[in-house]
Amino acid sequence: MSGVLARFGTAFAGLLVLLFFAAFAENFASFGNLAIVLKETAFLAILAIGFALALTTAELDLSIADVASLAAVATGALIQGGAAPAVAVLVGLGVGLGAGVLNGLTVTVLKVPSLIATLGMAAMAKGLGFMITQGVAFVGRWPREFTGLGRGSLFGVSNLIWWMAAIGFLAWLLLKWTRTGLHMVATGEADEAARLAGIRTGRMKRLGLALAGLLAGVTAVLLAASLSSATPNMAADHFLYAIAAVLLGMTMIEPGRPNIPGTLLAAFMLKALGNGLVLLGAPYYAQDIALGAIIIGSVALSATVMRRAAFTKKLNFRTAG
Amino acid sequence: MLRRDLLGATGAALTLAALPAAAQTPFELAVIGFQMSSETHARAANAAAAAAKEKGWNVTLLNSEGSLPKHAEQFAALIQRKPGAIVVCMGKPTEADAQFEAAAKAGIPVITIMSGSSPHALFDIAVNEYQVGAQAALWLLGRMNYRGGLLTTRFEGNTATRIRGKVLDAVLSENQAVTVVGSHAMARTASWQDDVRAGMQALLLRNRGRFQGVWASFDGQAYVIDDLLQAQDFKKGQVPIISVDGGKETYRRIADPDSTLMATVAVPFEEMGRRAAAAVEAIVQRKQPRDSITTGPYLLLDAELVDQGNVQRFLTP
């Protein structure tokens, strides 16, 4: 019983909150509204999956949001300038991947702690974003071939949901069913033991950070396509929520370990909370307060499990006592 | 038995009497402020919300926190809530075009404030920024006797402040005895006060004695420059500063003999909020045609220049 509570306690708590919204917020449980929530979850979920992959190797990537903003700006500049959408998309992904690779090299070759290295990258990405835009957004009626990536649909389901599902599935596959994924997990949980066992831990860390950068690039392209615009801080809002989604995800399914299903569920819960509070008519400040309280409450439910987990001990996430 | 029947009948009568009241839920106005931590956004949004409450309406007030994705997301959620109307303050109609269109399709009227026009909104309530820019530029040049050096601090990231800067350029092109000796373009929105402080401090030091006036694209920038000039012992009127927006702090500084801020062009943000609520009442509730409010995509309000001559009128509540 306690095992079930540990694995699904947060999910149950989230379910209770969703049931509350379904009962009291008109239209919350309607198909149309849930489709909107799922669609809005995509940006956060994809960014959070990137953060989770880096965290799996016990490295923090605090640059994801600023790298995503920079990649969006690079993509937007090209689209605005009349470049082919495919080229703009590749450049956006390339900017994300490039930043991730640089983060990986800084951490593993220059031995700069990822907290510092990625903070530095975040500052540079922000500066470059403002340099390219001069603070003015790229915005316009962009070609449908590009905006369709975010605004279009397939079989009646928004493309954003397809992207999220595909990326979530691939990330889960990588971590659970490939040797590389197992090596990434081993690196994160006990890098010295992993190294002695012959795992190239530096390479795993570089891979984790590179994938985080690449997924920041994917988020950027989808954001720019959905909003037909690119600004130098457009993904900033997702930063703390992406971290919250990963940490909240670590309290369920595989408690104490960054995991993809938990991250996806947590991202959905966070977005559903925001949506439910809007539908309830809660004023904006009450929404922030409620959101914070619910996040703390959910994580507190599984705090005991978090304390026991090897991974969180290593990252010093332990709560006092 | 009789008592129970009487109680039952009374209960049923009360229930029936209450039914029409319960069925008639109050009208709901949703207000979205794009960045409620910005004073001007909050002033317009809060005024719209307050005016709606005075009319007995339910109000949902949201803050997009300056984030485009959040703005679009809140808009989409609001459409599901189906309010009677939506007022968007300093929104982004081009970026949130899909949501504006969805609101129109759902039959929810949208009025924007200082956001720019949208084909899916009724109209945008704004001031004529070209006129505002001209008022500010000509007041400043007048104080400088149409000669001397000028320092400017700009913000190109916002349509209104950008227009004000372009109008200043146009005015200067016709008055070439005034030259811009230094200009700082504010780009960083998250920590813009630091950006203005650093940029203008350098300009003030480099150009000491070479400038006779300072132009700021909005009041927040002017406060920073005013503080810098006061720290360097500049006296009121020695180097006049003008900016745009208005508000309690601006009027206090204009009246303050120690402050170097001399004038502003007051944008009526509260009036914009009230006019938005009034327009919703006229169009949605009283079914008046939209053209009875304004015929174009904008409802333009007057902006008034405030300096020491009339600031007392703005200081009294």
- Tell me the per-residue pLDDT of B66-102, one tens digit each, with 9 for 90 and over: 888 889 989 999 999 899 999 999 998 888 888 999 9
pLDDT-based confidence at B12, cuts 50/70/90? very low
pLDDT-based confidence at A139, cuts 50/70/90? confident
| Residues from chain A contacting residue B115 (CB–CB below 8 Å) | none
Spatial separation of the C-alpha atoms in residues B302 and B317, rounded to whole Å: 20
pLDDT at B92: 87
User: Min CA distance, B24 vs chain A (Å)?
Assistant: 16
- Do strands B241-245 and A138-139 pair parallel, antiparallel, or not at all (unpaired)? unpaired
Task: Report whether A132 contacts A77 (CB < 8 A).
Answer: yes
- Tell me the per-residue pLDDT of A194-237, one tens digit each, with 9 for 90 and over: 999 999 999 999 999 999 999 999 999 999 999 888 988 888 88
Q: Do A135 and B97 touch (CB under 8 A)?
A: no
Q: Do B65 and A237 touch (CB under 8 A)?
A: yes
pLDDT over threshold 60, residue A247:
yes
Token pair, residue A203, equals 């390479």
Q: Count of CB contacts below 8 A, A vs B?
A: 99
User: Min CA distance, B194 vs chain A (Å)?
Assistant: 15
Nearest to B46 by CA among B244, B306, B276: B276
- Nearest by CB to residue A227, choosing from B68, B77, B156, is B68
| Residues from chain A contacting residue B187 (CB–CB below 8 Å) | 130, 134-135
Q: Do A137 and B74 touch (CB under 8 A)?
A: no
Chain B residues bordering chain A (beta-carbon distance below 8 Å): 28, 33, 36, 58, 60-63, 65-70, 72-74, 76-78, 80-82, 92, 94-98, 155-157, 162, 185-190
The ipTM value here is 0.73
Helix (H) or strand (E) holding A206, with range, is: helix A201-227
Nearest to B76 by CA among B102, B104, B45: B102
Please check whether residue A289 touches B, CB under 8 A: no
Q: Which CATH class is domain B129-267?
A: alpha beta
Q: Which domains does chain A have, with CATH numbers?
A: 2-315 (1.10.3470)
* Chain A interface test: which of B29, B79, B80, B100 (most A C-beta within 10 Å): B80
Q: In chain A, whose CA is at the least distance from the CA of B37?
A: A285
pLDDT at B9: 43
Paired with B61 in beta bridges are B31
In this structure, the dihedral spanned by the alpha carbons of residues B14, B16, B18 and B22, taken in order and rounded to 10 degrees, is: 150
| Residues from chain A contacting residue B95 (CB–CB below 8 Å) | 137, 139, 227-229
Residue bearing the bigger pLDDT, B192 or B60: B60
- Nearest by CB to residue A134, choosing from B61, B73, B156, is B156
pLDDT-based confidence at A150, cuts 50/70/90? very high
- Do strands A157-158 and A153-154 pair parallel, antiparallel, or not at all (unpaired)? antiparallel
Residue that has been written with the tokens 């992207």 in this structure? A163
Spatial neighbors of A168 by CB under 8 A, at least 6 apart, are: A45, A49, A260, A261, A264
Task: Report whether A219 contacts A68 (CB < 8 A).
Answer: yes
Domain spans of chain B, in order of start? 26-121+270-300, 129-267
| Residues from chain B contacting residue A283 (CB–CB below 8 Å) | 60-61
CATH node for B26-121+270-300: 3.40.50.2300
Q: What b/e sequence results for A23-33 when a residue is b if at least 16 CB atoms lie within 10 Å of its CB, and e otherwise?
A: eebebbeeeeb
Spatial separation of the C-alpha atoms in residues B61 and A278, rounded to whole Å: 9
Please check whether residue A2 touches B, CB under 8 A: no
pLDDT over threshold 80, residue A294:
no
- Do strands A229-230 and A138-139 pair parallel, antiparallel, or not at all (unpaired)? antiparallel
pLDDT over threshold 80, residue B15:
no
Q: Do B95 and A137 touch (CB under 8 A)?
A: yes
Spatial separation of the C-alpha atoms in residues B30 and B75, rounded to whole Å: 10
pTM tops 0.90, yes or no: no
Residue bearing the bigger pLDDT, B168 or A27: B168
Token pair, residue B61, equals 């007030």
* Chain B interface test: which of A284, A285, A287, A289 (most B C-beta within 10 Å): A284
pLDDT over threshold 60, residue A131:
yes
- Nearest by CB to residue B62, choosing from A32, A223, A278, is A278
Q: Which of residues 219-238 of A touch B (CB under 8 A)?
A: 223, 226-229, 231, 233-238
Spatial separation of the C-alpha atoms in residues B67 and B70, rounded to whole Å: 5
Asked if B26-121+270-300 and B129-267 have one fold, the answer is: yes
